Structure 1
Amino acid sequence: MQKRLIALAILAASASVATQADIVGATAGAYMWKQSWEGDVKAGSQSVDMNKDLGYDDETGKSFYVALEHPVPVIPNIRLQRTDLDISEQGTLTKSFTFDGKGYAQSEVVDSTTDLSHTDATLYYEILDNWVNLDVGVTVRMFDGEVSIKGTSGEGAIDLDAPVPMGYINARFDLPLTGLYASGLVNVISYGDNKISDATLGLGYELGIVGLEIGYRNFDVDLEDDNEEANVTVDGYFLAVVIDI
């Protein structure tokens, strides 16, 4: 009798471990992003056009992320993502202006860098988990960049290094028995005249734990602080590899 009880206990523990394994998981992904830049920035008398004045066009960046999920209902899951988002170009100015106290003349050739690279830390809950997956949570986006313009009068710069809280929604729609899926992820915040929105749409094919995904990402920034303004849009297509365990 005692041996039978021990055997039943072992079977119950094994079943419990198997159940936990089914609901404890990790997802990781990485992609190359073909970025198209446009917009304007201001830190003084006039706005500077990124395309006409600074010579911005296209750039290639990368992003990678990892998400960990667990079976404890009251504790949120966690997702970390890093995105490299910077461009450096040389351009010929179409007008005179000041930027961060430095004066720049019309037709002057300047070197500039705009860096909107950031790290996202997201806490979220899984609302749906079947052929439709839906996650809802909060992201803290930590910028660590700047906008700088260098000319004959010196270099002016404004820092972009503040943490920004954002709403987070991540959805995935699986087409049963095919391996095909569609996904969408949105981070957004709006307060006063300031707004940041970041939307990603993807279409993928999953074979086992590995998936290939093509998609489109649109990142919009509208920020205003006294005489400093940034109205920037970066968008383009990406190709990703995803591992789902």
Structure 2
Amino acid sequence: MKKTMLSAAAVAVALATAVPAQADMLLGGTVGADAWFSSAEINDAVDGGDNTVPSFYASFEHFVPLIPNARIAYANIEADAVAFKQTDLTAYYEILDNDLVSVDVGVSLIKFADGEYNAQGHVQTFNDEWQPAIYGNVEIGFPMTPLTAFAEGNMGEFDGTSTLDAKAGLKFTIPLVAADLNLRGGYRVMDYDFDAINNPLGGKVKLDGFFAGVEVDF
């Protein structure tokens, strides 16, 4: 009986120590924020002004087969000639995930809200414009270093509107006790042609510039 009780206790201790580690492997996610130093251009010709754009994102990953992981991102664009709020809702799968290469693919629904467009005095507002897009994210680690190169973006075309929102750069990882702290920097481009903007000069919007941010990976 004593041997049986000791064996049961040993199994319980082993399970208690193993479950948190396993749960950490099976569940995870990221939370991050960027400052984007962007320049806007309207219809390939008009200077739309410069602005520092705040953007935020979070993702959640799990172990359940067939059910996609989830990601949400938000950016508030406020340049001289164009302004809108953008929210990305993304469902994606991890196609590859190891110490050197990580690949995610999925689909996004992008919401544009509180939009205002000013092309040489022609002002128009637009609200609650939804657009579908293909999502992709690739990360490549540099062996024996804390550096990782990444490229991420959404691209789509639907109902006369085309969208491209892409970023690429490097991140520097600082290991913490229960998570990793990533310092990120790179270049971001938004290149949109809005069909909802019935402007005689067109509805093209381009923003690009460098960004810097911080991310917690748990």
Q: TM-score range by the shorter chain?
A: 0.7 to 0.9
- In structure 1, the residue corresponding to 2:194 is in which secondary structure? strand
CA-CA distance at 1:13 after TM superposition: 5.0
CA-CA distance at 1:84 after TM superposition: 1.3
Which of these two proteins has the greater Rg computed from alpha carbons? 1
Partner of residue 43 from structure 2, selected from 40, 43, 46: 40
**TM-score, normalisation: structure 2:** 0.85
Q: 1:187 aligned to 2:158? A: no
Other-structure match for 2:191: 220
- In structure 2, the residue corresponding to 1:17 is in which secondary structure? helix
The percent of aligned pairs where both chains have the same amino acid is 32
Task: Give CA-to-partner distance per residue, 1:123-148, whole Å, 9 cap, x none.
Answer: 11111110111111111111112225
- In structure 2, the residue corresponding to 1:224 is in which secondary structure? coil
What count of residue pairs does the alignment treat as equivalent? 208
Q: 1:191 to 1:58 in 2, by over 3 A?
A: same
Partner of residue 147 from structure 1, selected from 109, 116, 123: 116
- Aligned equivalents of 1:226 and 1:61: distance in 2? 22
- Aligned equivalents of 1:125 and 1:223: distance in 2? 29
Matches within 5 A, 1:11-160: 11-40=14-43, 50-51=46-47, 56-88=48-80, 113-130=81-98, 131-149=100-118, 156-160=123-127
Q: 1:160 to 1:114 in 2, by over 3 A?
A: farther
Q: 1:148 to 1:36 in 2, by over 3 A?
A: closer
Q: Which runs of 5+ in 1 are unaligned?
A: 42-48, 89-112
**RMSD between aligned residues:** 2.5
AA at the equivalent of 1:62: P
Q: 1:132 to 1:14 in 2, by over 3 A?
A: same
The answer to whether the 8 Å contact 2:126/2:197 transfers is: no
